[in-house]
Amino acid sequence: MRIGVLFGGPSAEHEVSCASALGVARALVERGHQVVALGITRAGGMRLVPEPVLTECCTHVGEGRAIDDRLPVTGPAVELRAGERAGTVAVTAADAPGSVHAELDVVFPVLHGPYGEDGVVQGLLESLGVPYVGCGILASAVGMDKVAMKRALRAEGVPTTPHVWFDAPTWRAAEDPEKLVVGLRRPLFVKPARMGSSIGISRVAEGDDLADAVEEALRHDHVVLVEQGVTGRELECGVLGGWHPEASAVGEVRVAGGWFDYRQKYFGDADPMIVPAPLPDEVTERIRELSVRAFTAIGGWGLARVDFLYDETTGDLFVNELNTLPGFTAHSMYPKVWAESGVDYPEVVNRLVALAFTRHAARPGGAA
C-alpha cells in the first residue's frame, strides 16, 4: 500500500512527532508498504520529504535516545486533495495543483498535540474521504481536552483523580486564586487542558507558588486543569482495536522528582520504563479492563495509551488520562507494552492500517 505518514506540525510537540514518525515509517517499510513522508512545518506548511532522505533515515538506526533520531521536515511544498480514485488522496504541488506527486491509499497521522491529535487533521482527512489511522474527530477532540476527557470517564464510572478547572478570564478575575483549588490537597499538578508530552505541566507542593504554575499552563492553553496529586505508582496500558478493542501488558514508569516530565521522557540517560510492571495479577487485570472501558468512553478507535495512578496503600486506581496518539519512538511505552504482549512494532502499525480501512468501509455510504 502507499501510505502517507503525516508528522511535525505547529504544536510544541513538533520534535516528538518527527521522532515518532521515523519509527512508524521504518515499521511500515519493513512490512512492505511504500511510505510517503509529509512533514508539516511549525508555520503550518506541508513538505514532501524527498525519497532519498526518507530512505536514508529509514535504513540508518541511530544510537541516540528518544527524539535524537527523527525525520526532517524538508522538501517541496505540497497540498492534499481528493484523489482520482475514490477513497484516495492526492499529494499535489502547492504551486501547481495539477501536478500529482503521489496518490495515497491511507494516511497515518503521527501528529502529537494541537492541530494533529485534537480532531483538526482528522476533520481534514474525513473531508477528503480517505482512510486514516487512529481515533476519529470526536474521540480525538475529547482525548486531547483533559477536562472533556474526565467528564466522559466519570460519566461511565471510570475513576479519575479529584480535580478542578478554570479558564484564563476566571483566573485573572480571582481575588484569591487559592479559592479556585479549594478542596484539593497538595501536591497539585497544574496542566494546560490541551497539550501532551508533559509540556506546560508543573507540580505544586506545599509552599510553592500556584500562580507561577498556572501562568506556565496558560502559555499553552486558555483552560487550566488542576489535579490533586496521588502518592502512588505510574502505570500505563496500551489499547488496540476497533469494535472489540484489546488491552496490552501493563508497564510502569519509575522517575525522579515525583513525576515524568518532558526532560526525563525524551532526554533522560536511563530508561525509566519497566515492562511488565511487577503487580498482582488482579491489579493488572483491573488496569486492562479499565483501559478498554476508558477507550470506549471517549469513542476511541485504533489506539490509545491509558495512564494510571495506583495507590498501593488503599488499592485505588485512577485513570490519569488517555493519549490517542501516544509516543511512537523505539523508546516509547506503547510499542513496548505491545511487544510484551506478543505484538511487535511492525505488526502494531500494520494492524492500525487495517483498522483504518475497517472504519472507512463502515462509514455511511462506505464500501461494503
Q: For residue range 315-327, what is the model confidence (pLDDT) as tens digits?
A: 999 999 999 999 9
With respect to residue 299, please indicate whether it lies within any of the assigned structural domains.
yes
Domain with 126, as residue range(s), is 2-132
Verify that 189 and 273 share a domain, yes or no.
no
Verify that 98 and 175 share a domain, yes or no.
no
* Lowest mean pLDDT across 51-65, 209-223, 228-242: 51-65
Banded model confidence at residue 97, pLDDT cuts 50, 70, 90: confident
Banded model confidence at residue 240, pLDDT cuts 50, 70, 90: very high
Count of other CB atoms within 10 angstroms of residue 244: 6
With respect to residue 368, please indicate whether it lies within any of the assigned structural domains.
no
87 CB-near residues (< 8 Å, 6+ apart): 105, 129, 130, 131, 360, 367
Q: For residue range 332-356, what is the model confidence (pLDDT) as tens digits?
A: 999 999 999 999 999 999 999 999 9
Q: What CATH number has the domain bearing residue 300?
A: 3.30.470.20
Is the pLDDT assigned to residue 368 strictly greater than 50?
A: no
- Tell me if 306 sits within 8 A of 291, measured CB to CB: yes
- Tell me if 258 sits within 8 A of 208, measured CB to CB: no
Verify that 251 and 192 share a domain, yes or no.
no
Nearest Cα to Cα of residue 145 among 108, 100, 113, 188: 113
Task: State the burial class of residue 111 (Cβ atoms within 10 Å of its Cβ: 0-12, 13-18, 19+).
Answer: buried
250 is in an annotated binding site: no
Report strand pairing: 106-110 vs 2-8: parallel
With respect to residue 367, please indicate whether it lies within any of the assigned structural domains.
no
307 is in an annotated binding site: yes
230 is in an annotated binding site: yes
Banded model confidence at residue 197, pLDDT cuts 50, 70, 90: low
Q: Burial letters for 176-198: b for 16+ Cβ neighbours within 10 Å, e otherwise?
A: eeeebbeebeebbbbbbbbbbbb
Q: What is the reported pLDDT for 67? A: 52
Verify that 239 and 344 share a domain, yes or no.
yes
With respect to residue 294, please indicate whether it lies within any of the assigned structural domains.
yes
* Given the residues 17, 20, 291, 332, the one annotated as active site: 332
Q: For residue range 26-50, what is the model confidence (pLDDT) as tens digits?
A: 999 999 999 999 999 999 999 999 9
320 is in an annotated binding site: yes
136 is in an annotated binding site: no
Verify that 180 and 281 share a domain, yes or no.
no
CA dihedral 11, 13, 18, 22 (to 10 degrees): -130
With respect to residue 137, please indicate whether it lies within any of the assigned structural domains.
no
**Helix-helix angle 120-128:137-144, to 10 degrees:** 170
With respect to residue 30, please indicate whether it lies within any of the assigned structural domains.
yes
Q: Is 215 a catalytic residue?
A: no
pTM: 0.90
Highest mean pLDDT among 2-11, 250-259, 321-330: 2-11
Q: Is 140 a catalytic residue?
A: no
Q: What CATH number has the domain bearing residue 104?
A: 3.40.50.20
* Given the residues 11, 13, 20, 291, the one annotated as active site: 13
Q: What is the reported pLDDT for 367? A: 47
Provide, for the chain, the percentages of residues in helix, strand and coil under a 3-state DSSP scheme, each rounded to the nearest 5: 35, 25, 40
122 is in an annotated binding site: no
- Cell numbers placing 13: 510537540
17 is in an annotated binding site: no
Name residue 273's beta-bridge partners.
253
With respect to residue 178, please indicate whether it lies within any of the assigned structural domains.
yes
Q: For residue range 215-238, what is the model confidence (pLDDT) as tens digits?
A: 999 998 999 999 999 889 999 999
Q: What is the reported pLDDT for 13? A: 86
With respect to residue 297, please indicate whether it lies within any of the assigned structural domains.
yes
* Given the residues 17, 20, 197, 341, the one annotated as active site: 197
DSSP at 66: G
Verify that 180 and 237 share a domain, yes or no.
no
Alpha-carbon gap, residue 132 to 210, rounded angstroms: 41
Verify that 236 and 221 share a domain, yes or no.
no
Verify that 180 and 74 share a domain, yes or no.
no
267 is in an annotated binding site: no
DSSP at 12: T
Verify that 59 and 127 share a domain, yes or no.
yes
Verify that 325 and 275 share a domain, yes or no.
yes
Boundary of a domain, candidates 206, 228, 250: 228
Alpha-carbon gap, residue 77 to 101, rounded angstroms: 11
228 is in an annotated binding site: yes
Q: What CATH number has the domain bearing residue 180?
A: 3.30.1490.20
Verify that 196 and 60 share a domain, yes or no.
no
Task: Please tell me which residue, 64 or 354, carries the higher pLDDT value.
Answer: 354
189 is in an annotated binding site: yes
Q: Is 248 a catalytic residue?
A: no
Q: What is the reported pLDDT for 114? A: 84
**Helix-helix angle 51-59:14-30, to 10 degrees:** 80
Boundary of a domain, candidates 184, 207, 228: 228
Verify that 212 and 235 share a domain, yes or no.
no
- Number of domains within the chain: 3
227 is in an annotated binding site: yes
Task: Please tell me which residue, 329 or 308, carries the higher pLDDT value.
Answer: 308
